[in-house]
A and B are shown apart, each in its own frame.
Chain A
Amino acid sequence: MTGFVSRGFKGRRRSGGPEGRVPPGQYVTDDFPVLSAGPTPHTPLEEWSFTIRGGAEPVSWSWEEFRALPSETVTVDIHCVTKWSKLDSVWEGVRVDTLLEAVEHDAAYLTAFCDGGYTTNLPIEDVTDGKAWVAFGFDGEPLEPEHGGPARLLVPHLYFWKSAKWVRGLELRDEDEPGFWESNGYHIRGDPWLEQRYWGD
């Protein structure tokens, strides 16, 4: 639709942001909006576990065991498919690489599963080599339930619905299986730089 102009629209260039850091169609916000498909689950830490299944043997960590794993603090930009981007957000979490090291597998894909029944699918290569974390801290504080606490997936290079809140584990798979939003009109992979928002993008 080149050449189309919205009569009288000037815009505030709010989406400007630093060069090369805001994907197409996004605008920068300092807030941290909340999006979820249902009520916020509140799982007590003593009942919480993180499980990887679908490999040679299932592996599971209690909250205490999970928190004893090596973790790191990362500063990343995040991009929600509803158009907001948040720059320089600070998270603390365990690399997915660290978790996968405990499992013998040759899977190409995984489905993250969560309290509340939410799922999302990811290629293994999108969560390895330091590209994804299971995050338990935000801005130096424990991650709040409304933002996915006690722990959520963090995959900052993909649209934020891939960073599943209230994550409880990973199911390893040979084939890509659409998760919750991926079955409801949203893109199977969700690269914000390619504007892969919806089916067919």
Chain B
Amino acid sequence: MAGAAVLGRLTWQIAEVAGTVEETPRVKTIALEAESWTGHRAGQHLDVRLTAEDGYQAERSYSIASAPENGLEITVERLDDGEVSPYLVDELREGDRLELRGPIGGYFVWGVEDGGPVLLVAGGSGVVPLMAMIRHRAAAWSRVPMRLLYSSHSLEQVIYRDELERLAARGDGLEVFHTLTREQPAGWTGYSRRIDNELLGEVAWPASESATVFVCGSTHFVDAAADGLVALGYDPGSIRTERFGATGG
């Protein structure tokens, strides 16, 4: 069991938006300046609290996208029926402030000292906590073998596409495999279907390599990936999952 990274009370603190980046039409990265932030581990999340003028509040959890070495960023997907994510994606801008507390979670985390190989399996915006791990590995100049299998609807919806390409091109042991499940551009050479056991068998290391696995995505995606890896002989205890349902936002 991973050691826990949080000690003492996680108090609400005010953070300022240092900048935003539109990753895709539905997804935005928000860089935050939080004076009392004590650092995080790759894979952890934080809670955001919004307060309306009449005192009404809403809280949600968001995965941290940045490497521990590189400040504090969250990446948020707008859920159309959501209450908080449309505000964060469409309304929030540089200089605004919001309340947050964290970091939270001591299990879905990875650091270079944990070694590898590491298999990351992402569905849609489930890539966010996994990106923190990829960025952490790169920032630490680690050569731990790491593979990302990333399922998106279309190329336009791939979050961090250029950065992933750049990091994979370093040739330091990071490999990135995309699958586009709904729409593929002309000449697409990656996978073109939902993750199934055959696809997992092609991308994943053999079970005998004892890879550590992190899977993040919707419930159905996570079930398909985790069940598929177990069918390939992976030890269920080596597969760590994080899911987001159709609700939230």
Contact = CB atoms under 8 A, between A and B. Distances in A.
Interface string A79-105: 000111000000000000000000000
Given A34-B245, A199-B7, A4 B1 contact: no
Contact of A4 (B51, B91, B107, B237): B51
Contacts of A181: 107
Which of A9, A39, A184 has the largest number of chain B CB atoms within 10 A? Answer: A39
Interface string A138-151: 00000000100000
Given A5-B53, A37-B240, A185-B106, A25 B59 contact: yes
Contacts of B56: 11, 13
Interface string B229-240: 110000011011
A8 interface: yes
Interface stretch (B68-76, B96-104, B122-130, B171-179): B96-104
B239 A84 contact: no
Contact of B226 (A12, A40, A184, A200): A40
Contacts, number: 132
B154 interface: no
Interface residues of A, number: 41
Nearest to B227: A39
Contacts of B236: 38-39, 41, 116
A125 interface: no
B26 interface: no
Which of B1, B4, B8 has the largest number of chain A CB atoms within 10 A? Answer: B4
A35 B7 CA distance: 24
B121 to A, nearest CB: 12
A201 B14 contact: no
A183 B83 contact: no
Given A1-B14, A184-B106, A185-B106, A39 B245 contact: no
B1 to A, nearest CB: 6
Contacts of A5: 51-53
B138 interface: no
Contacts of B241: 36-39
B139 interface: no
Contacts of A34: 219, 243, 245
Contacts of B230: 39
B166 interface: no
Nearest to B60: A83
A37 B239 CA distance: 8
B188 interface: no
Interface in A1-53: 1, 4-15, 25, 27, 29, 31, 33-41
Given A4-B14, A36-B241, A41-B236, A9 B9 contact: no
Interface in B1-39: 1-2, 4-10, 12, 14
Contacts of B239: 38-39
A186 B9 CA distance: 11
Contacts of B243: 33-36
Interface string B83-99: 10001000110001111
B53 A33 contact: no
A142 B133 CA distance: 38
B48 to A, nearest CB: 9
Contacts of B10: 198-201
A116 to B, nearest CB: 6
Interface string A181-201: 101110000000000001111
Contact of B6 (A1, A180, A185): A185
7 contacts: A8-B91, A14-B83, A31-B245, A37-B240, A39-B241, A83-B61, A200-B9
User: Which 7 A-B residue pairs are closest in the complex by CB-CB distance?
Assistant: A33-B245, A200-B9, A184-B106, A39-B226, A6-B50, A34-B219, A25-B59
Interface of A: 1, 4-15, 25, 27, 29, 31, 33-41, 82-84, 116-117, 146, 180-181, 183-185, 198-201
